[in-house]
Amino acid sequence: MKICSALFLFIIYNLSAQQKPIETIYFEFDKFDLTPKQTEVVTRFIKNIDSSKVESIQIYGYCDDRGNDEYNFRLSNNRANTIQNLLVSAGFNQSKIVILEGKGRIVVRADTVENLHETRSRNRRVDLIVVKKNSFGKGIHNSFGDKIKVGDKILLDNILFNIGSAKLTSTSKKELDKIAVILENQRNIQFEIRGHVCCTPEIYSDGIDRDTKERRLSWNRAKTVFYYLSSKKISKNRMTYQGCGNKYPLGKGDRLDRRVEFLITKI
């Protein structure tokens, strides 16, 4: 596909295995603003999407490999912000935009890429990941809604951890703050916090926490969430926690296996 200076591409991939449509907006070289025609396409996308079926949207900005890291992180952030501002101005609920992040440049080796110009054009982009409500299967929910019952699991893909870490990211803290408000208003709900890990050889039941050097990473992740919610005035009597190690992979990639989830034990 040939790319000219004024051309935009708006490609929608439906990854049925992950239940996550990805929308990609491509930018011109060294630009973070959109042409009127690009703006019209994004606006049309917002009008056509059924927001009642969308749990959240994640926005990630990228750059090609030219320029220094500091400049490209700033440019990729500006591109992500451009798309967020356009979504909000078109009527999309900003509270559903849960991740807004510039990833900087995508490094490629010129001597290993057959069509370097096209590759760089595809790297000047913003990806939108749309998470549909209840997209993980029966009995697994994306939020603490009215229809949950004992035995159901709440899986929030914003409460994820970095490899080898049990520390909460800023995004996870924001999500847990929202959960604390919900739980404060639904005091009848009791639950177990379950920690998980990815990327661990089958001969081991759990991962190693880089900070403690113990092979109790999934337990530490669950405990971290337990004490964070406790710090937000959620009673410890309503919560328990345990580590599940690598026993329950979702089969949707390593990222979602570095998670905690909530098992409803009493309503």
How do residues 188-217 score in pLDDT, each as one tens digit? 888 888 888 887 777 778 888 888 888 888
Tell which CATH classification among 3.90.1150.10, 3.50.50.60, 3.40.50.2000, 3.30.1330.60 matches the domain 140-266. 3.30.1330.60
Same fold: 10-132 with 140-266: yes
**For residues 194 and 152, is the Cβ–Cβ distance under 8 A?**
no
**For residues 144 and 150, is the Cβ–Cβ distance under 8 A?**
no
Phi, psi of 249 (to 5 degrees): -70, 145
Per-residue confidence (pLDDT) for residue 112, from 0 to 100:
62
Coil, strand or helix at 105:
strand
- How does strand 153-160 pair with strand 259-266? antiparallel
Quick check: pTM over 0.75?
no
For the stretch 237-255, pLDDT in tens is 888 988 888 887 777 777 7
Per-residue confidence (pLDDT) for residue 10, from 0 to 100:
33
Residue ranges, the chain, pLDDT below 50: 1-21, 136-137, 139
- The domain spans of the chain are 10-132, 140-266
Q: Which residues contact 50 (CB under 8 A, 6 or more apart)?
A: none
Report CA-CA distances (Å) from 10 to 117, 162, 218. 18, 30, 39
Per-residue confidence (pLDDT) for residue 143, from 0 to 100:
61
* Rounded Cα distance, 12 and 112, in Å: 27
CATH topology of domain 10-132: 60s Ribosomal Protein L30; Chain: A; (3.30.1330)
* Rounded Cα distance, 229 and 212, in Å: 22
Per-residue confidence (pLDDT) for residue 75, from 0 to 100:
93
